[in-house]
Amino acid sequence: MPNRVAALRFNRRLYRKRNLIERFFSKIKHYRAVATRYDKRDDNFIASIKLALIRICLRFIESMT
């Protein structure tokens, strides 16, 4: 804000890590089972997150080749 008296501290490295995590959650929420949490058991939910992560990684690797 232009009328702010003291500038807020900004840690670039921490901001980059936070940005990566938020982008990961944005991509993972595109999978319906994860976004709506169909599986109520923790182990099944973690498994669906891992499957979504594998699909995201494979899609990224495929686009690189």
How far apart are the C-alpha atoms of 20 and 38, rounded to whole Å?
25
Q: What angle do CA 52, 56, 58 make, to 5 degrees?
A: 115
- Banded pLDDT at 8 (limits 50, 70, 90): confident
Q: Specify the number of domains making up the chain.
A: 1
Task: Tell me the pLDDT band of 19, cut-offs 50, 70 and 90.
Answer: very high
Taking alpha carbons only, the member of 34, 29, 61, 60 closest to residue 47 is 34
Q: Is residue 38 part of a domain?
A: yes
- Its domain, for residue 33, covers 12-64
Kindly state whether residue 7 falls inside one of the protein's structural domains: no
* pTM, two decimal places: 0.62
Judged against a pLDDT cut of 90, whether residue 1 lies above it is answered with no
Higher pLDDT pick, 13 / 36: 13
Residue 31 lies in a domain: yes
Residue 37 located in a structural domain: yes
3 inside domain? no
Strands (E), 1-65: none
Q: Closest Cα to residue 45, out of 56, 35, 53, 34?
A: 34
Q: Assess if residue 43 is contained within a domain.
A: yes
Q: What angle do CA 7, 12, 17 make, to 5 degrees?
A: 130
